[in-house]
Amino acid sequence: MVRAQFLSFFFFVTFSVFILSSVSSDAADTEIKTNKKKQPNIVFIFADDLGYGDIGLFGGIGIETPNIDALGQQGIKFTDFYAVSPVCTPSRAALLTGRYPIRYGIHSVFFPRSFTGLPESEITIPEILNKAGYISGIFGKWHLGHREKFLPLQQGFDEFFGTPYSNDMNSYVYIEGNDVVQWTVDQQFLTQTLTHKAVDFIDRHHDQPFFLYIPHPMPHVPLFASPEFQGTSKRGLYGDVVQELDWSVGEIIKALKEKEILNNTLIIFSSDNGPWLTMGNAGGDAVPLRGGKQSTFEGGMRVPTVAMWPDEVNPGQVIQTPLTMMDWLPTFANLAGVSLPDNLVLDGADISSIMQGGGKDGTYLIKDREFAYYYGGKLQAYRLGDWKLKLAQPKHAKNYPAWINWLSLRVLRGQETFQPHELLLFNMRQDKQEKYNLAHNNPEKVKEIQQAIQVFQDSLGEVPEKLNVGNYKFIQDDNRVLFDAIFFVLKWAAGIISICIFAIGWFIARKVYRRKT
């Protein structure tokens, strides 16, 4: 009897342990799968020279952008998001490295004649994510060095199809991997071609975590839209181009839905810098901000940015905390579960807790956020919390006649990039248009920011020399004013000469025709 009870108890305990261990094993397996599921796909869509006022959600008029707007409405609209440079190459470098480009010598745009690129020693987003099992692809404009050792496959990407630099530069080709695959590019179909390539990447890699980087060459001048989008907007060809970019965003969303991975995908849309105002109607709009591309006023560096991640980000958020492109690398690393190297010096911050904060604007997490506005390797402004100090822009060392300065300003169309001004202090929360200089009435705040600038510059330590991008030395610094004036005169002279030639030709042809008749 006792033996029978013992055996019964023994089998009961054994069976219970087996059941519990099975449940624990299943729970452990579930936990692992949950962790894997929470490792999001990341899609980063980058426009080129898109203005703050060119998107409907940011107050844009005459351009319909329902897909881009939906990202912000169903996710986050960032009102104070900054590119790290008002021009292309440094901005893209900062995005991929999480560091100010001044740290590695990138001050300006690379050209076809440039023999340099993003230093191989820099650690990039795809290199970080690859450690977590991500596959990374880029489909679009690279512009961080077109020599083979600087191309995307040598910077951590697994796939690359796109163009080496801006679409107004010579030798504009399609590159796949490390090889030129097409020597001429029909720019009418740039956006469509890159979109199809990106969708194909999603189709092939939907069953593993991926980082998809889509840096569109548009709406950089010269503008091109495919035939079905030409004439569809109320803002001419520029609007047509932006509406085609919006279509592209819609195609990416559709592909993610079809593969049932949209909910676990973080999608971000932004621009590399502000609009190219010198191009007039072809250059976009920064309203209500001041300035544009090549300017360290807000219009040159504050860019329209939205993000959506259905599983983790509450819809309808508006985040006003100053954030930057450099924040994405540490944020992506955290979301992917990757520990960053201890010796990696970053200038960005992990903003995942702000994004997942349920609608809070994150000021409690990043108090008095600081940001340095660089252009051409020179610090031109500094933001500390709600305040921005625009450093004095001295008069040009070469004292050009007033008419040359006037012509230069006409070329810049009020952009004021190279125009002198006194020390300026603005309250960004109350005056994002930068209309009211408060420097004279707030000497203590000026001093506080100047001290913050000194601390920041000291923290940089010794920075390397500027990389030689092969730019013409004449078009630099003080000479720029003279160059702009000459450009203005030549442009109008060329137009007048063309009209004269046409008129003379028409007059001669008419005279010859009359003689014959």
Query: Is pLDDT of 367 > 80?
Result: no
The whole-angstrom separation of Cα 124 and Cα 99 is 10
User: What is the per-residue DSSP string for 256-321?
Assistant: HHHTT-GGGEEEEEEESS---GGGGGGS---TTSS--TT--SHHHHB--EEEE-TTTS-TTEEE-S
Residues known to be catalytic: 88, 143
Q: Nearest Cα to 124, choosing from 290, 348, 378?
A: 348
Give pLDDT, residue 495.
76
Which pLDDT score is estimated for 514?
A: 75
Query: Which residue(s) pair with 381 in the sheet?
Result: 373, 390
pLDDT tens column, 30-42 = 332 333 447 999 9
| Structure tokens that stand for 304 in this block | 């329209």
Residues 180 and 173 sit within 8 Å (Cβ to Cβ)? yes
Phi/psi-derived region of residue 260, left when phi > 0, alpha when psi is between -120 and 50, beta in every other case? left
Q: How much is the average pLDDT of 244-253?
A: 98
3-class DSSP state of 335: helix
307 CB-near residues (< 8 Å, 6+ apart): 71, 72, 75, 76, 78, 266, 267, 268, 269, 313, 355
pTM comes to: 0.84
For residues 427-441, average pLDDT: 96
Return the amino acid letter for 443. P
Question: Out of 22-26, 196-200, 286-290, 476-480, which region has the weakest mean confidence (pLDDT)?
Answer: 22-26
Residue 251's nearest CA partner among 289, 212, 300 is 212
